[in-house]
Copies of this chain bind each other. A is one copy, B any other.
Amino acid sequence: MTDRTDPQDAPRLDDHPGEGAVRGTQRMEIFVDAVFAIAFTLPMVEIKLPEAGPHFGAELLALWPQYLGYGLSAVVIGIYWVHHHFSGAIYRTTGHHFLLATILFLIAIGFIAFPTRAFTEHIHEPEARETGAIFYTCALAATNLTWLIKWRTGRLTGDVDARLDKAYVERLTRKYNLTAALMVTAAALVFVRWEAGLALAAAVTLFYLRAPETPVYVTEAPTVEGEG
């Protein structure tokens, strides 16, 4: 799709014919990081301050499922942000279709706090807790699928940095494929046995607390330009 001859070249505005103005990744990150930041912080408005009264302290403590909802949602969004931040060094340009796939991913990120709360805020009530766990697990799986769609789109459109070692890119693809397969399994399992489905989805998500593999470049690794 591109006629780039030297992978060391900086991206050019006219590089992807038919894909509009292809630009570097930096500018896209402003919008993406702002959506991440709002999705991360916004759930705090759902926690209502109790009225003053003799049980004010106990009521503050009793809000722990809501604090948990905020914290859990922030951890999941935070993990996705760290990996998105990482992949910002993997992509080199942002074509039109890659931006659309990013929008889809961000719709999932903006939504995820809601199913998180459906689970955590009803954690005391067996029936609602199970329903919440199903909703939450399915939402985690759907979010993961949008990540995979974004990755696949980026590969198809040539937005992934051409200087990366092909085997390295292949390993990332396999890792994302496997993750998505496990998340879909969790979403199926949660309907059968909710604790197992949720535990699998949580384990897969927490696995991403580990640092991703350092990128391997065929050509000499680029310096981080414009970043003091």
Collect the chain B residues with CB atoms within 8 Å of residue A225's CB: 10, 226, 228
Contact with B along A128-139 (1 / 0, CB 8 A): 100110110000
- Name 20 extra pairs, CB < 8 A, besides A13-B214, A31-B33, A53-B128: A10-B224, A11-B223, A13-B215, A14-B221, A21-B86, A21-B89, A22-B214, A24-B227, A31-B36, A34-B34, A40-B106, A44-B114, A49-B118, A56-B128, A60-B131, A78-B103, A81-B103, A86-B96, A226-B226, A227-B228
A33, A110, A227: residue with the most chain B Cβ atoms closer than 10 Å:
A227
In the complex, A128→B184 CA distance in Å? Answer: 38
| Interface residues contributed by chain A, number (CB under 8 Å) | 100
Contact with B along A5-31 (1 / 0, CB 8 A): 000011111101111111111111111
Stretch at the interface among A69-77, A148-156, A174-182, A195-203: A69-77
In the complex, A49→B69 CA distance in Å? Answer: 12
Contact B42 A41 (CB under 8 A): yes
Copies of this chain in the oligomer = 4
Taking the nearest CB of chain B, how far is it from the CB of A203, in angstroms?
Answer: 17
In the complex, A97→B53 CA distance in Å? Answer: 41
Taking the nearest CB of chain B, how far is it from the CB of A191, in angstroms?
Answer: 11
